[in-house]
Amino acid sequence: MEFDLDYLLRQGPALRAGLMVTIQVSAIAIVLSIAIGLAGAAARMLRVPVLNQAFVGYVEFIRNTPLLVQIFFVFFGLPTIGLTLSLFWSGVLSLTLWAGAFQTENLRGGLATISSGLREASRALGLTSFQYLRLVGLPLAVRVSLPSILNTCVSLVKNSAYVSAIGLQDLSAVAFERIANDFRAFEMLSVLLAGYLALVLSLSFSVRVLEHRLQAPFRR
């Protein structure tokens, strides 16, 4: 079978729509999962009584269960107890919960590397624990754990392909539908390869820029 460029161009709009879904789901889940990560890392660092243990359990549970089953549980399971979410938000919720666990670990690891001297200094200056986290701990932790946070984001973009399993029309769902209907495996697989590589690489690039800017105060 030959590579049919005309065919590929005709599928442009559908593929673009799929790509947009992939980007939207990933972008929302990235933002929310980092928020969970910040909350989780703070709760664990401050040893907030119940939250601390809850986050330990949450992280262990997410890390030791398959993402696909988590997605099925959210999309098929939650509606049966009265919690109905749309296809899109089911995808966002599962990816957010999944990535949130890893971001919690990333940021907690970052916080742990900050020397206890800074914390003691903050206390000596009269800062509360919360103020320490907000003004000293987390800003530094984000810088330290940026590479691992990025890794999790890249994985999230990749794993957003899992939402096609519940029928959300993301890039991979659109492409595989075309393979099934038009028998254009070669073209569509090239699109998938190029699409995910482009997403992953552009994400790494933008974070390198961000990293550069975060380092600015420490450069001469």
Partner 1 sequence: MIETLDLIRANAPLLLIGLRSTLYLAAVTLVAATGIGVLLGTLATLRPRWIRALSALYVEVFRDIPLIVTIFAIFFGGPFLGVPLEPFPAVALGLSLWGGANGAEIVRGGLQSIPHGQREAATALGLHLWKIYLLILWPQALRAMLPAFTGLLALIVQSTSLGALVGVTEFLKAGGLIIETSTVMRGVNPAFGVYGFVLLVYFAICSVITALSRWLERRLARRGGVNTVRAPDAARV
> Under the criterion CB under 8 A, does residue 70 sit at the interface with partner 1?
yes
Candidates 39, 56, 58, 73; binder of partner 1 (CB under 8 A) is 73
- Which is closer to partner 1, CB of 143 or CB of 158? 158
Q: How far apart are CA 202 and CA 154, in angstroms?
A: 10
- Which is closer to partner 1, CB of 102 or CB of 132? 102
Contacts (Cβ under 8 Å, ≥6 apart) of 147:
none
> Under the criterion CB under 8 A, does residue 19 sit at the interface with partner 1?
no
With contacts defined by CB under 8 A, how many residues of the chain interact with partner 1?
Answer: 46
According to CB under 8 A, which residues from 42 to 61 bind partner 1? Answer: 60-61
Q: Are 33 and 100 in contact (CB under 8 A)?
A: yes
Contacts (Cβ under 8 Å, ≥6 apart) of 188:
175, 176, 178, 179
Candidates 79, 86, 167, 210; binder of partner 1 (CB under 8 A) is 79
Query: Minimal distance in Å, beta carbon 45 to partner 1?
Result: 20
Amino acid at position 80, single letter: T
Q: How far apart are CA 136 and CA 134, in angstroms?
A: 6
Candidates 3, 76, 130, 205; binder of partner 1 (CB under 8 A) is 76
Q: How far apart are CA 157 and CA 200, in angstroms?
A: 7
Q: What are phi and psi of 168, to 5 degrees?
A: -70, 135
Scanning 46-184, the segments in alpha helix (DSSP H) are 49-63, 67-72, 87-113, 116-124, 129-132, 138-159, 171-182
According to CB under 8 A, which residues from 138 to 197 bind partner 1? Answer: 148, 151-152, 155-156, 158-162, 164-165, 172, 176, 179-180, 183, 185-186, 189, 192-193, 196-197
Binding site for partner 1 (CB under 8 A): 1, 60-61, 63-70, 72-73, 76-81, 99, 102, 148, 151-152, 155-156, 158-162, 164-165, 172, 176, 179-180, 183, 185-186, 189, 192-193, 196-197, 200
